[in-house]
Each structure stands twice: as structure tokens, then as C-alpha cells.
Amino acid sequence: MNYLMRRLAAFPLVLLGVSILVFVAIRMVPGDSITAMLGTEAGLLTPAQRDSLAAYFGIDQPWFVQYWRWIGGILHGNFGISVTYGRPVLDVILERFPLTLELALLSMIIALAVGMPAGIYAATHNEKPSDLGVRIVAMIGQSTPSFVLGLLIIYTLSAGFGVLPAMGEFAPLRQDPLRNLSQLVLPAITLGFAFAASVTRISRSAMLDVLSDDYVRTARSKGAPARSVIWRHALPNALIPVVTLSGIEFGYLLGGAVIVEHIYALPGLGRMVLDAILQRDYALVQGSVLFIAFNFMIVNLLVDLAYVALDPRIRLGEQ
């Protein structure tokens, strides 16, 4: 509990660092909201027009004043207004986030449901043809870019067989769960395939390590059947690397999956952030990067708590 408080207390510090980084980084990029909006025609503006537009976008002040106003606003729950959407940044983000979260969760479920059994199977059939087969598929899964796989799936399923609508207006989960799931299954498989491949490889190697450990031999010497040796004695000890990997991958997915969102025309966080960067929508970029960083920290915290639950030797917050 004490540990949890201290971890949470560190959050604002990290977020402060992230906020400075993203604030500076987005302003290092040539161009600003005005050039992004008007393109080459921005050069035709009179100085007076330019000044008034700059004042409108809030970019007429020195950087530290802009930063100070932004941070001051955040402390009052105001993340600023998105220039492109003309709405509060937080609203725009929260509107997009459920889809991204759902997609990330679905992909992780697919990855764990497929990857772990495959990895365990390969480890227990080490160096047999079936192990080799699993390893080859995992290698292919890891090395196939998601746009190739995504297009391949769309082509074969939608175009070839006419199953599952991959396109069309996105239906949020609460409005139309069935339609929502049918829209997300293919993107989730596309993302989950590479994810599952990583999970397979890491759970296979972790299981192989654990299966040669002394306590597995002890379990066998007690007369524990193969099933119990694998599930009760070996697996809990092999989970730590799987949790680490899944946490990192899940954290990335929460930041949005630009390519897959693009292929399946999904309004997720990834595309939104990319557009915001291209539009020099400073408030939206800054707000969403902070949001993504916050999610990553939450996931990391959950991963660390999972370690404690899995392994009694790990004690958090002790020197």
C-alpha cells in the first residue's frame, strides 16, 4: 500500500518531464498552426493578419508563457481546445480512447490465448517437428508487417468470401456491440498475430528454461503427472517474462496503432495523433502525448504489481 502511494506520487514528476519534452519537440518542427492551415498561402498574409491569427491560436506569446498557461490550465482540468476539431482536447481524446482500449485488449487476449499455449506446446515438444512448425509460424508472425497482414486479411475474407464487414461507419461498443465486435475482430487479429508470435517465442524460451530447473525435477520425483508439472510447477515460474512483454506491447497499443487504424478506417488514437501532428494542433498533440504517457505508467505499475502476485521473492519498495 505504502509502495503504491509512492509510485503514484512519482506520476506527476514523470508527466511534468513528458510535458516539457513534447512541448519543446512539437515546436522544434518547422511550421506552425497558421502554415498548417493555410499552406503556402500563409506567405500572403499581412503582418497584422498574421499577428491576429497567432493571437487567435495562442502562439503569439513566448514559449515559457505558452507552457505556463497550458500547465496552469491542466491543473484546472482544462487541456486546451483542439484547433482542428474546435472542441476541448480531453473530449476529443476520450471520444477516441474507448476504441483504442478495446482494440488493445482484444489483441492482447488473442495474443495470450494463442501465444501461450503455442509456446508451452513448443517447449514441451522441444526439437520435435511440431516445435519447429510453431517456431516457423512465430517467426513469420513476427516478421510480417501489419499492413501486409491487414491487407491480406481484408482481401481474402472481405473481397474473396464477403464475410465480416471490414468497412463502414464505426459503431461504438455501447451502441451496437455485435456490429462493433464484427468491425474490430479483423483489426484485432491483425495486431494480435504479431503480438501472439512474440508471446509464443518468449513463453517457449521461458518454459524451456524453467523445465530444466531443479524444482521441476523435484515435482517429477514426487510423481506429479506431466499436466501438473507443466501447469502447476513450471508455468507460474515462466510467467514473468510473458507479463513483461505483454505489458510493454499493451502499453504501445494504448498509444494507438496508426497503420491498422488506417487500413480498417477506424477512428482510434493513433490516427488522431498523427493528424494532430501534421496539422500542428499543438494542444491536441500535447494533451494526447500526456494521456498516452499516463496510460503507459498505469500499465507499468500493473505489471510490477503482477510480479509481486506471481513471485513471492519479489518485494516491492525494499532496498
Partner 1 sequence: MTPLLSIRDLRVGFGRNPQANEVVRGVSFDLADGETLAIVGESGSGKSVTALSINRLIDFGGGRITGGSMQLKRANGTIFDLMSATEPQLTGIRGAEIGMIFQEPMTSLNPVLTIGSQIEESFRLHRGLTGRQATAAARDALDRVRIPDAARRLKYTPNQLSGGMLQRVMIAIALACNPRLLIADEPTTALDVTVQAQIMALLAELKRESAMSMIFITHDIGLVAGIADKVMVMQNGQAVEQGELNQILDNPRHPYTQHLLHAVPHFANGRATRADGQRDKDAGAEPALKVDGLVVRFPLKSNFFSRATGAVHAVDGVDFDLMPGETLAIVGESGSGKSTTAKAVLGLVRSTRGSFSVSTRTASAERSAKPVQMVFQNPYASLNPRLTIESILAEPVIATGGRVDTETRARMASLLERVGLPKNSLQRYPHEFSGGQRQRLCIARALMLNPSVVVLDEAVSALDVSVQAKVLELLVDLQREFGLAYLFISHDMAVVERIAHRIAVIYAGQIVEIGDATSVLSKPKHSYTKKLIAAVPTIDRRREHFEIDTRQVPSLVRPQGFEPAPAKWELLGADHIVRVET
Which C-beta is closer to partner 1: that of 61 or that of 218?
A: 218
Which C-beta is closer to partner 1: that of 274 or that of 305?
A: 305
**Calpha distance 38→162 (Å, rounded):** 42
**Least separation, in Å, of the C-beta of 213 and partner 1?**
7
Which C-beta is closer to partner 1: that of 128 or that of 222?
A: 222
**Least separation, in Å, of the C-beta of 303 and partner 1?**
17
**Least separation, in Å, of the C-beta of 16 and partner 1?**
20
Going by C-beta distance under 8 Å and a sequence separation of 6 or more, which residues neighbour residue 153?
Answer: 186, 189, 190
Which C-beta is closer to partner 1: that of 174 or that of 227?
A: 227
What count of Cα atoms within 13 Å lies in the side-chain half-sphere of residue 37? 14
Which C-beta is closer to partner 1: that of 176 or that of 311?
A: 311
Backbone φ and ψ for 290, nearest 5 degrees, come out as -60, -45
Enumerate the H helices of the chain as residue ranges: 2-28, 33-38, 47-57, 63-75, 89-124, 129-143, 146-153, 177-211, 214-221, 226-228, 235-254, 258-263, 269-278, 282-310
**Least separation, in Å, of the C-beta of 178 and partner 1?**
41
Which C-beta is closer to partner 1: that of 219 or that of 292?
A: 219
- Least Cα distance to 216 among 231, 228, 233 occurs for 233
For partner 1, the binding residues (CB under 8 A) are 213-215, 217-226, 228, 232-233, 236-237, 310-313, 317-319
Q: Please give the single-letter amino acid code of residue 255.
A: G
**Least separation, in Å, of the C-beta of 214 and partner 1?**
4
**Least separation, in Å, of the C-beta of 252 and partner 1?**
28
Cβ atoms of 188 and 103 within 8 Å: the answer is yes
Which C-beta is closer to partner 1: that of 137 or that of 310?
A: 310
Residue 32 DSSP code = -
**Least separation, in Å, of the C-beta of 310 and partner 1?**
7
Going by C-beta distance under 8 Å and a sequence separation of 6 or more, which residues neighbour residue 149?
Answer: 190, 193, 194
Query: Can you read off the three cell numbers belonging to residue 71?
Result: 500547465
- Least Cα distance to 36 among 269, 282, 272 occurs for 282
Which C-beta is closer to partner 1: that of 234 or that of 283?
A: 234
- Least Cα distance to 79 among 286, 276, 268 occurs for 286
**Calpha distance 88→103 (Å, rounded):** 24
Q: Please give the single-letter amino acid code of residue 3.
A: Y
**Least separation, in Å, of the C-beta of 224 and partner 1?**
6
Which C-beta is closer to partner 1: that of 77 or that of 129?
A: 129
**Least separation, in Å, of the C-beta of 221 and partner 1?**
4
